Structure formats: structure tokens, C-alpha cells
A and B are shown apart, each in its own frame.
Chain A
């Protein structure tokens, strides 16, 4: 019977998905891997020659690549921390009964449905030398703090990190709110009866039970942060200098210069970083989840 059952659902119906997915997701990875060992470039697209680890040696000897790697990690870790913290903070505030609760949630979630391009252009108007932020600082008598935020060393990276965190905090807020609502009220009651104070209840009851939500939030934020492209490309295009250059913009830059082998090698390194970090994070967080 079981055999017959399976037989009714023809595997042919998986073929279109298998075809599209394999051809446009898996094949490029395999090609990238192969080409990353060759001297492939735009002038000789059809006859790349095997060069071993040359591309990898080249990019790892390139200070700009090392810089983009460090920037990618800095960006991914700090935005993950901020998005998690802001998301949790907003959730804790909005889980309470407060007037306008629904409106606040709607507002904080709004940037998640907009594109990074649109948000990037909008923030250019705010952060430019004569922009809204500097004008605001002037009004507060803090004009000396003003600068061209996206073209100054240091503040460019900080700005991009802030904008990414601003954009996605509302998303994490919703996941935390769902997590908070799923905590059974008896746990809180027991803690109350045992005389645990507000802070103790938060750290010893709420937080441990929220770990599944943390797993989702941290894994997603990290994966998104490591893959960052649009926001950096639109806001700073890697500048000033190479101050905000990340791995994806590096790969695109090499690609635009026709250095396809190096671009492929950079993409492969990024893929390895994403897989390794996601895997380690997931394992660590899963091991800390408490069974309800």
C-alpha cells in the first residue's frame, strides 16, 4: 500500500523545481568553484587555464580584500547585536498594554517592506553634509558634531550599521513578541509566588524561554549581515577609500573590472564564511534551547 501511495505522486512534478534550482543555484556555485582555480577573465572567457590557488593567494594578499572581510564580519556581528537588542527592547515595551500599541508596531515594522535601495537614497538626504541630521544638530547647538557622515572615515561604517539595524529591528520585534506571547503564564505565576523580583523574573524566566526566538533572530540577522550588498552599494559604494568595502561589493568590483577568477574566488570565500558561521551559530543556539 505504501509503495502504491508513493507511486501516485509522480516524481516528474519535482522535476521543474529541481531543474530551475540546480541550474541557477547549484551550477553557479560549482562553476564558481572551478573558475576560481583558473586565470578566467573577461578577455578570455572561453579558455580559462588552470592556475591552482593563484586567485586565492592574490585576494588574500590584497589588503583591500582583507579589509572587506573584516568589514563584513564587523558589519554582520554589530548589526546582529543591535538588531537583536533593539528588537527585544521594542518587544518588551510593546507586549504591555499601552495606548497606540498597534500603531507603534505598524510603524516600527514598516521599513522591512521597503527596499534597501529606497532606504539608502532616503538616508543620503539625511546624512549628507548639508543634510537633515547636521541641520538638526545645529539647532541643538551641537553643530560642531556635524560632518559628511557617509564620506568621513569611521562614521560611514557606523551610519551603514545604524541604517541596517534601524531597518530590521521591527522584524525582530515581531518575532520576539510572538515568542513572549508563547510563554505559558504558569511559569510567571510560580516565579511570582516564589517572590522573584521583576529583573530576576526577566533574566531567569523570560530570557531562557525566549531562546528559540533568539535562534531565529540571530541566525537570520547574521546571514543577512554577511550577505550585505545593496545598502553599502547605494550609500557609500565601499567608500570613503575602502572603509565600508564588504565581500559582496568586493566581488562585484572585481567582476566589473573583468577579473572574473578573482571575483569567483571572493564569492567562494564568502560562501564558506556564511556556511561556517551559520552552522556554528545554529548548533550553539540549539544546544541552549530549553524544552517546554
Chain B
């Protein structure tokens, strides 16, 4: 019996190892490729580089505007995330705490947004009319608007579980609305703030289409668009493309490994509640 269990464990482990190859092999190819010479990289195999060409990275950072892409991504992501949490959080708390028809109507209005798809031509025209086409502001506004349904939904359901006594005690103590929201409720809402922060950061950081449609200039390109443009220019220099990919992926992977527990929990619980 114990032996049979051991055998089945070995089979299971081998199977999982085989599946992992599907995930590991591309990473190995990319990492080795980033350190190869042009002729070596274009052979596309899994052999280590004969001599590590660290200069590939210097070249990519210099020519590929990778740092510029990072700067833009960090800026857009942090502003959009902050706006999403504050605007969506305040709306969610208010909708959850008020017990009237207006707020339940508002709740369904936002909820409806989950099914909406991005309208390319109309959004373009809207941004032109508002005279903000091609600005950071337009991208931030679109990202924030896209995050509203999910943020408001999750905040509303979380706040329902927070006893009203807490609010009442604060109000009796003379706290105003602003103090109640920011200093009393927000600390209690930490878990849901964390979930929304993670999901928003990941979706904005990885976004490509909004940037491509409405912010298409190399100066304002985020890291996603930068790598795409870089590939367009250097499609035959695979050693450079690999180095650019490593520079794009590595920081995300490190953050993922560091905060994995929160990221997985945040994305999964978000999905289940959504």
C-alpha cells in the first residue's frame, strides 16, 4: 500500500515536471538568448551562450528607451491606481452605507459596466472633442473609468461586513465625513484596498491597447508599447529582443515572487467575487 502510494507520487511528480517544461523552456531560451551574439541567438536553441555578451543590455537600455518606458509605466500606473482607490473607494463606501433607492440604482449602474467593451472610434472622438487626445490624462481617465465597476462592487460588499456601530461611535465623537472615511474606515478596509491596488496595478501595467489607440507616441509609450516598438525595429536582432524581454519581465517576476501570496489571493478573490 505504501509502495503503491510512493509509485503514484513519482508518476505525479514526473508529470508535473514535464508540464513545467512548457513554462521553463521559453524562459531559458530568452535568458540565454539575451547574452548571445547575433549569430548565436538566431539559432534559437537552449545551449548557454559561448561568451556572455553583457553589452547587449547596455545597447538595449540605450537604444530601446526601456528606462523611458519604465518611467511612463510607473507614472501612469501609480496615478491611475491612486485615483481608482480613492474615487472608487469613496463611492463604494457611500453606496454601501446609504440605504436608499438612489444608491442601489447607482450600484447596478456601475455593475453594468462590467460587460462593456472598449469603443475604439467613439473614445477617440470623445478624447478629440475634450481636447485631451494623446495626453497622459486621457489614459488615466480611461483606466480609472474601466476599474470603477470592479472597485465599487468589491468595496460595497466588503463595507457591508463592517459593523455600523463603528461609524456611529465616530460620529458621536464628532468625526466629520472625511475623517470617518479616511481615518476610521480606510484602515479597516485594508484587505479590500490591497486587493484592488494589486488588480489595478497589474491591469494598468500590462495594458497595451489603450496606449496603442490613444497615446501612441514613443515619448509617452509605456513599457508594453516600448517592447512592441522595439521588436518592430530590431526584429532580426534576436539577442537584443531577448535582452529587452528580460529587462521587461524580470522586475515583474521579482515583484511577483516577493508578493506572490497577496497577488494570487487578490486576483483570485477578485475574480470569485466578480
Contact = CB atoms under 8 A, between A and B. Distances in A.
Interface of A: 2, 5-6, 8-11, 13-14, 16-18, 20-21, 23-29, 31-32, 35, 40, 45, 90, 93-94, 96-100, 104, 106-118, 121-126, 128, 130-132, 135, 166, 171, 174-175, 178, 216, 220, 223, 227, 229-230, 233-234, 248, 251-252, 254-255, 260-261, 263-264, 267-268, 270-271, 274-275, 278
Contact of B24 (A45, A107, A109, A227): A107
Given A104-B20, A171-B267, A264 B119 contact: yes
Contacts of A264: 119, 121-122
Contacts of A45: 125, 128
B131 to A, nearest CB: 14
B145 A229 contact: no
Nearest to A96: B12
Contacts, number: 255
25 contacts: A5-B99, A8-B97, A8-B167, A9-B98, A11-B102, A14-B95, A20-B144, A23-B141, A24-B126, A25-B113, A25-B148, A35-B121, A93-B16, A98-B13, A98-B16, A112-B267, A113-B206, A113-B256, A115-B208, A131-B44, A175-B268, A248-B117, A255-B121, A271-B115, A274-B115
Most chain B beta-carbon neighbours within 10 Å: one of A2, A21, A132, A278: A21
Contact of B126 (A9, A28, A126, A174): A28
Contact of A121 (B22, B126, B241): B241
Contacts of A20: 87, 141, 144-145, 148
A118 B120 contact: no
A13 to B, nearest CB: 4
A123 B142 CA distance: 29
Nearest to B128: A45
Interface in B25-72: 25-26, 29-30, 33, 42-46
Nearest 5 A/B pairs, CB to CB: A115-B206, A24-B145, A17-B91, A32-B122, A31-B122
